Structure 1
Amino acid sequence: MQFEPQSKINDRRYDLDWLRVIAFGLLIFYHIGMLYVSWDWHVKSQYANSDLEPLMQIVNPWRLALLFFISGIAVRFASDKAVSKLKFAKVRLKHLGLPILLGMTVVVAPQAYLELRQANEVSSGFTTFWPEYLNLSQAFSIITPTWNHLWYIVYLLVYILMVTPLFPVLRSVSNGSAGKIISWVSNNTISLIFLMPLPFVFFELTLSSRFPVTHALIDDWANHAHRFTIFLMGYFVAKHAGFWAAIVKSWPYALATAICICAVRLYLMLSHPEIYPSLFEMPLRPLAMFLLTVYAWSSIVALLGISQRWLNQSSRTLSYLTNAVFFYYIMHQTIIIIAGYMLTPYGLNPFIEFSLVLLLTLAGCCLGYEILRRLPVGALFFGIRQ
């Protein structure tokens, strides 16, 4: 089947390329931060406490939503240029499926090993552990083999395979009813900022308490509702000129909204920690979830507007990072966990330890990318375009 001709709104969106790179880069800092907060994670530094948690909470509501939103936009542009639905699906299976396979069998295995080592659940060497990790008998307290941080790629691939057979219908809906709804919501700044995120408020109030986030794919229904919806929103607005014009007009107001909500939230978290959790219980829960969701969406609107205004241009740096950032995403968490696990027994100053983990992560990702992008098999299994 041949697709319809390309839309005129089909120029390369360098602003979104930059935003994707920034979002993945932010993820590296976030996952290093997970070594040092009290939240449950794979391994922990001896300095883990709650001090960094307010800073982490600034990006928590929108960091992954932004990635799925940009992914939806990318799928719209790429699918409109595809020769056929089958060809499109095959390419995505190769570029996402092979990294998932390698990631689960090789890349993520050291994460599971060191998590179990720190929990004193295993004492053998990695070469002894690895066959047990690949064994489906589930001999450990965590599921093995696992995808850990690669869940984003797994979910994205599933969403792409779900929508690929529906591309003609989705394009028709995008140009029809969905386009009209987006035009109406984008008609003024207030509706763009406060009405567009309402589906996510509904999900929070109806699904999140019943289906806690698991990243296990088959039972993660609240998470799917959020991620698949924002993915579809990205698809539908990708070529909607009215939406992007509204972003240009509205982003300063969205930024002000995000800053105000964030400031109040941080104040309550830091000054009244005994009160803050109760805000997310009835009867205040609907209002709290509405404001938190508006904060997440207004942050995304602000970032889209800022990137359109100042980042919509190509460069050699962007070309390099656009291809490299996916490899960095695949490898960064494994390097972080190895570096954090190896460094924390030395009792280094926490700032020195953090800096060394960051340096080793960036150096490991950079070196690995430079080596593997020159090897056809390595590039193939890490999704590196040659």
Structure 2
Amino acid sequence: METHAILRRHDLDWLRFFAIILLLFYHTGMWFSTWGWHVKNEETSLIFNYWMIWSHDWRMPLLLFISGAGTFMALGKRTKTQFVRERFKRLFVPLAFGMFVIVPPQIYYERIQEFASFWEFYPTTFEFEPYPQGNFSWHHLWFIAYLLVFSILILPLLAFLRKPASMEFRNLLERVFTRPATALLLPAGMILLSQFLLRPYFPDETHDFQDWAYFVFYFLFFAFGLIFYSNPRLWESLGKNRKVFLAAAVLILIPFYGIYLHFRNVWSLPIGAENVEIFFDVTSIFLSWFTVLAIIAYGQFNLNRPHPVLKHVNEGLYPFYILHQTVIIVIGYYICQWDWSIGMKYWTIALGTLGICLGIYFGLIRPFDPIRYLFGMKPQPANREHKPKPVLVP
């Protein structure tokens, strides 16, 4: 039995759109930042590092928080078996398809000097040797793999929260988390504790189900998205406390960039190197949670309204996510060989990727039900105007 009606959240639709478009610009920036990536432009720029180091800490946590809320909606009136079957179609099918069709071109262009053509490279995918030693990977589709596992792990809590028997527990959550200080600090403290316990043993973010610190980090954002959305009054309290959350998200930037500028040798902090690293990691965790709360809160207050654009873009976000990094790498490989400035290359790759992904979506994916299925989309409604339902996961 459901505890309350599931309402259409236009603010989550808008924020999902915003988060996925941010991924387009973030992954394009990886061509030009000084950080390592699959492929790189010959010339790089620190300008990208300064905004990407900030957005890196909250872009995926935001998507996972939204996906947690969407997963609460996804159960609906389904049984647990129906829910798992729906998650399989929405997540596992496009993940498998992506690993054999969408991701291989990324690995090929990373190792293009080793092969005469893509068709010489492609059979090595079926050797199933994991990347980076081999050529089999899910690359950016790790998010889908983790989301599938998160959805299964959260199912007992999800089912409990949808029952009247959870009322006392949900009331407790409401009393605790409607207070802005508690909403800011208690979840952040839980995330921080998990990282304190796990990162010394699993320090790297590898996206292979062996990076347990980051697995738990992302799972907690997903779980808190589900928990906050499970209680309407708790969810509405986020919007009411938006100014507090925004202030916290802005103020945390002072120590965050203060330490980052220390790393860039702009100035020197009177702290030992190891302590600076720890302080930066702690600050990054608070930045992640504070920024996600602020974005969700202001989105709820300002964006929860319908718009004709939403029904056209919402359904296409998931295919766009699946496609975007491959297109960025393929067209970027050629554009980055041109004698252009970094700015010209960046915007050409970003806008070119946007145009190509839209063309693939409208020309090859949206009209054909078998292709829609491979991209985790529902069949087109028959004999009526197509009105897509909200996309619950990117």
Same-fold call, TM cutoff 0.5: yes
Are residues 5 and 267 of structure 1, via their aligned partners in 2, closer, same or farther at CA, if it must alter by over 3 Å? closer
Amino-acid identity (%): 28
Q: 1:278 Cα shift?
A: 8.8
Q: 1:55 aligns with which of 36, 51, 57?
A: 51
Aligned residues: 376
Distance in 2, matches of 1:200 and 1:288, equals 15
Q: Distance in 2 between matches of 1:193 and 1:174?
A: 27
1:382 and 2:375 equivalent? yes
Contact 1:174 1:236 in 2 (8 A): no
Question: CA offset at residue 6 of structure 1?
Answer: 5.1
Deviations 1:323-355 (A, max 9, x none): 011111000000000111111112212111111
Stretch of structure 1 that moved more, 266-275 or 100-109: 266-275
In structure 2, relative to structure 1, the CA distance for the partners of 1:277 and 1:70 (3 Å cut) is: farther
CA distance in 2, matches of 1:161, 1:102: 20
* Change in 2 beyond 3 A, CA 1:318/1:19: same
Which secondary structure state, in structure 2, belongs to the residue aligned with residue 195 of structure 1?
A: helix
1:327-385 deviation line (CA, Å, top 9, x unaligned): 11000000000111111112212111111101210011100110211011111101233
Corresponding residue of 1:67:
63
Question: Which residue of structure 1 aligns with residue 391 of structure 2?
Answer: none
Shift of 1:15: 0.5
Q: Report SS of the residue matched to 1:314.
A: coil
**Equivalent in 321, 327, 337 of residue 335 of structure 1:** 327
Q: Give the corresponding residue for 1:188.
A: 179
Structure 1 partner of 2:4: 7
- When residues 282 and 345 of structure 1 are mapped into structure 2, their CA distance, relative to the original with a 3 A threshold, is closer
Q: How do 1:1-386 residues align onto structure 2 when only pairs under 5 Å count?
A: 4-5=1-2, 7-8=4-5, 10-82=6-78, 84-117=79-112, 120=113, 122-137=114-129, 141-164=132-155, 167-171=158-162, 175=166, 178-211=169-202, 212-217=204-209, 219-270=210-261, 273-274=264-265, 282-283=274-275, 287-371=279-363, 372-385=365-378, 386=380
- In structure 1, the gaps of 5 or more residues are none
Opposite residue 375 of structure 1, the aligned amino acid is F
Query: Which is further off, 276-285 or 341-350?
Result: 276-285
In structure 2, C-alpha distance between the alignment counterparts of 1:143 and 1:175, rounded to whole Å: 47
Tell me, yes or no, if the aligned pair for 2:246 and 2:294 is still in contact at 8 Å: yes
Amino acid at match of 1:292: S
Task: Give the whole-Å Cα distance in 1 for the aligned partners of 2:164 and 2:111.
Answer: 48
- In structure 2, relative to structure 1, the CA distance for the partners of 1:49 and 1:303 (3 Å cut) is same
Change (3 A) 1:25 1:304: same
Corresponding letter in the other structure for 1:91? E
Instruction: Encode CA deviations 1:135-191: one digit per residue, 9 max, x unaligned.
Output: 2256x7544311000000011011212333664335459935753553243242222
The answer (yes or no) to whether the contact 1:247–1:305 under 8 Å persists in 2 is yes
Q: In 2, distance between residues paired with 1:378 and 1:327?
A: 10
**In structure 1, C-alpha distance between the alignment counterparts of 2:344 and 2:324, rounded to whole Å:** 19
Please provide the CA RMSD for this pair.
Answer: 2.4
Q: Return the alpha-carbon distance in structure 2 between the equivalents of residues 97 and 6 of structure 1.
A: 29
Q: Secondary structure at the match of 2:298?
A: helix
Alpha-carbon distance between aligned partners in 1 of 2:9 and 2:343, rounded to the nearest angstrom: 37
Q: Distance in 2 between matches of 1:238 and 1:124?
A: 52
For residue 340 of structure 2, give the secondary structure of its aligned residue in structure 1.
coil
Q: Could you tell me the TM-score, scaled by structure 2's length?
A: 0.88
- Give the AA of the match of 1:384: M
Letter in 2 for 1:366: L
Distance in 2 of aligned mates of 1:198 and 1:206: 12
